[in-house]
């Protein structure tokens, strides 16, 4: 197998219901390319038959490589593993659920051939999603952009094409708590968008429910911004100012002979309020300290247990 021009990275986690159709659609598009390609399925410790089906497909297709993790490491490490092991001059990341149509890879490649180093998909509409899902997604992207110090494209996920030089640059970033789309924006280079309509999920369940979306947002914000710490400082300063003003008010009332009525309810409420603010501030600081601790351990981001159709096996 000679060095491919295009590498298609597909993270997988419990996708037994969709992997065959995903492979069929991806292969159909890839066979229209003018140059050689490779498909890289990254199994993120699936608990169903995803890996077995991937092995079966790889046995009949030398262009399909399969990387299998020793356990579930997460979506972002799976994407990273695929990019770091890709051989192509252009690497395209796409999920297996077919919500991002494989056919959109063609205009992405066209933009890459026109000189762009990063081409990301921008969703203009989302089929089959509830109003709540669309609303939370909209809030997620806008809040993220407002809170981070990096200009992140709105309504763009991990579906994107990356030039080889972008991949090599990202390999120099060993951080564990990864937010890949943020890292891609951070490195810069010449970037362009390709707009498309996001389809309904072909089968199975979403791997990013609200809980994981919130975790992803928290990870993204703490990866690319210290604004939460600044907000803590501003909030602490404001509360200190209010407290000082209240103290002056108490002293003045005392001097003019006006006594406060005794009562534990208001005092308890005030104490709980301020204690809550303090705990929130400590929690934010703890998030950053936890990230520092995680990075200092320097454990590998992922562990590959098995690789099928590795380059050395097919040359």
Residue 115 shares a structural domain with residue 180: yes
Inform me whether the pLDDT recorded for 129 exceeds 70.
Answer: no
Burial level of 124, CB count in 10 A (0-12/13-18/19+)?
A: exposed
Largest CA distance in the chain: 94
Q: Give the pLDDT band of residue 40 (cuts 50, 70, 90).
A: very high
d(CA 214, CA 312): 41
Q: Are residues 104 and 18 in the same domain?
A: yes
Residue 245 lies in a domain: yes
d(CA 182, CA 195): 19
Are residues 52 and 192 both part of a single domain? yes
Q: What is residue 170's predicted lDDT score, i.e. its pLDDT? A: 84
Q: Tell me, what's the pLDDT at 12?
A: 92
Is residue 1 in some structural domain? no
- Predicted pLDDT at 314: 43
pLDDT band for position 10 (cuts 50, 70, 90)? very high
Which CATH number characterizes residue 143's domain? 3.90.550.10
Tell me how long the chain is.
315
| One domain, residues 210 and 283 | no
Q: How far is CA 21 from the centre of its chain?
A: 24
How deeply is 84 buried, as exposed, middle or buried, from its count of CB atoms within 10 A (0-12, 13-18, 19+)?
Answer: middle
Is residue 165 domain-shared with residue 270, that is, in the same domain? no
What tokens does 140 get? 């997620």
Residue 315 has pLDDT above 50, yes or no: no
Within 13 Å, how many C-alpha atoms sit on residue 290's CB side? 11
Query: Does residue 157 share a domain with residue 254?
Result: no
Note whether 107 and 52 are same-domain residues: yes
Lowest mean pLDDT across 55-59, 220-224, 257-261? 257-261
Within this chain, do residues 238 and 177 fall inside the same structural domain, yes or no? no
Mean pLDDT value of segment 141-148: 68
Rounded percentage of the chain residues whose pLDDT exceeds 70: 69
Count of domains observed in the chain: 2
What was the pLDDT predicted at 204? Answer: 52
Same structural domain, 269 and 158: no
Domain, as residue range, for 69: 6-224+299-314
> Same domain, yes or no, for 193 and 78?
yes
Q: What is the pLDDT of residue 211?
A: 64
Tracing tokens 């937010």 back to the chain, one arrives at 179
Mean pLDDT of 147-163: 78
Top-confidence range, 104-118, 188-202, 295-309:
104-118
Percent of the chain exceeding pLDDT 90 equals 11
Question: Which of 24-28, 57-61, 96-100, 135-139 is predicted with the least confidence, judged by mean pLDDT?
Answer: 135-139
Dist CA 237 CA 249 (whole Å): 18
Reply yes or no on whether the pLDDT at 178 is more than 90: no
| One domain, residues 22 and 127 | yes
pTM higher than the cut 0.85:
no
Identify whether residues 155 and 292 lie together within a single domain.
no
With beta carbons less than 8 A apart as the criterion, state whether 122 and 194 touch.
Answer: yes
The alpha-helical segments, DSSP class H, found in 61-196 are: 75-85, 105-113, 131-147, 164-170, 180-187
Distance CA 235, CA 281 (A): 9
Is residue 33 classed exposed, middle or buried when 0-12, 13-18 and 19+ CB atoms within 10 A define those classes? Answer: middle
pLDDT tens sequence across 208-234: 556 666 666 666 666 666 667 667 667
Is the model more confident about 48 or about 216? 48
Q: Which two tokens stand for residue 271?
A: 């104490």
Asked whether the beta carbons of 51 and 127 are under 8 A apart, the reply is no
What stretch of H or E contains 297? helix 264-297
Q: Cα-Cα-Cα-Cα dihedral of 28, 29, 34, 39, to 10°?
A: -80
When pLDDT is averaged across residues 17-37 and rounded to a whole number, the result is 89
């Amino acid at each position: 197998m000679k060095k491919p021009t295009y590498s298609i990275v597909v993270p997988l986690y419990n996708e037994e219901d969709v992997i065959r159709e995903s492979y069929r659609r991806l292969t159909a598009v890839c066979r229209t390319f003018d140059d050689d390609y490779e498909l890289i399925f990254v199994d993120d410790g699936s608990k169903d038959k995803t890996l077995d089906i991937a092995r079966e497909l790889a046995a009949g297709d030398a262009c399909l490589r399969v990387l299998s993790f020793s356990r579930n490491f997460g979506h972002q490490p799976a994407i990273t593993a695929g990019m770091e092991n890709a051989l192509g001059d252009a690497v395209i990341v796409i999920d297996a659920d077919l919500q991002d149509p494989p056919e959109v890879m063609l205009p992405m490649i066209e933009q890459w051939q026109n000189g762009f180093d990063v081409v990301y998909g921008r969703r203009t509409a989302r089929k089959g999603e509830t109003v709540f899902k669309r609303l939370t997604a909209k809030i997620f992207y806008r809040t993220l952009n407002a809170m981070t110090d990096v200009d992140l494209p709105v309504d763009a996920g991990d579906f994107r094409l990356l030039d080889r030089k972008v991949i090599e640059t990202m390999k120099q970033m060993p951080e564990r708590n990864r937010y890949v789309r943020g890292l891609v924006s951070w490195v810069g280079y010449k970037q362009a968008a390709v707009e498309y309509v996001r389809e309904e999920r072909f089968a199975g369940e979403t791997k990013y429910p609200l809980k994981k979306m919130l975790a992803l947002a928290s990870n993204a914000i703490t990866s690319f911004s210290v604004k939460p710490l600044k907000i803590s400082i501003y909030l602490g300063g404001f509360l200190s100012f209010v407290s000082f003003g209240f103290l002056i008010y108490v002293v003045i009332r005392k001097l003019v002979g006006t006594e406060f009525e005794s009562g534990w309810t208001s005092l308890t409420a005030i104490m709980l309020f301020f204690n809550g603010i303090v705990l929130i501030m400590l929690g934010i600081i703890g998030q950053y300290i936890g990230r520092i601790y995680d990075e200092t351990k320097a454990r590998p981001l992922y562990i590959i247990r098995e690789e099928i159709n590795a380059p050395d096996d097919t040359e």
